[in-house]
Amino acid sequence: MRDITYPPVILTCKALFKALGQKITITGAENIPRSGGALMAYNHIGYVDFVYGGLAAQPAGGRLVRFMAKKEVFDHPVGGPIMRSLHHIPVDRGDGIASFHHAVDFLKKGELVGIFPEATISRAMELKEFKNGAVRIAATAGVPVIPVVLWGTQLMMTKDHPKDFKRGKHIHIKVGEPLMFNGEDANADNAELHRVMTEMLDEVIAGYPADQQPPGSWWLPARHGGGAPTLERAAEMDAEEKRERARRKVEKRAAKAQKKK
């Protein structure tokens, strides 16, 4: 697969990280194979997760990750062409069959594919319920799932909070050992992936600089003494957001219909 855009994008991002004085720690990168397909499963706490998630594969001979992202991003007049040039994979949430097979095809060709099993950003800053697409894709392609946990990315850009790109932020990227699933019980496989990534996230949070996440911090899970919503409250907020989005769509359609009269 020919990559013209991806290498300069990575170089630009690394230069930006340096300019921002960010301290990026990557642990467990040896768990990423230097060749062959693998599905990289990430937690989702901020809008820039995919940017930092790709860094996890760089120590493995500069490998590139093809991320699965919602179709709307590819429909954007500017973002769409860039996403396609990076060979990322569009996901239509109304019909995911095409993206499923697209990901399997990439994996069988030896690519690294990145996926966020939670599908949307976690307001709780800990793992929400997983969709089982990740384990099913990996099992179908016959490749391992490599769990990856990100921490610190939520400080820059996430839901319900203003953007903050001030200098000196610490980003931790932890790569876990590969997991092989045979596809016989997708729900059990999904639960195991969730368990492993929860343990990884707890380890990363525990090892994060204490002066950067004091008790009560909005970006810290309630379970860890932080001010983030509990998983239950976060689910309620997600539902409220979904209802509001649906309401705006109805109003927009009604306004268009009124103009046509």
> Token pair for residue 222?
């309630």
Q: Go through the chain and tell me how many residues it has.
A: 261
> Token pair for residue 16?
């930006």
Please provide residue 57's backbone torsions phi and psi, each rounded to the nearest 5 degrees: -90, -10
**Of 80, 169, 158, nearest to 125 (Cα)?**
158
Q: What is the pTM of this model?
A: 0.93
Q: Give DSSP secondary structure letters for 184-216.
A: S-HHHHHHHHHHHHHHHHHHHHHHS-GGGS-TT
Contact between 59 and 26 under an 8 Å Cβ cutoff? The reply is yes
pLDDT digits (tens, 9 = 90+) for 126-175: 999 999 999 999 999 999 999 999 999 999 999 999 999 999 999 999 99
pLDDT digits (tens, 9 = 90+) for 38-80: 999 999 999 999 999 999 999 999 999 999 998 888 988 888 9
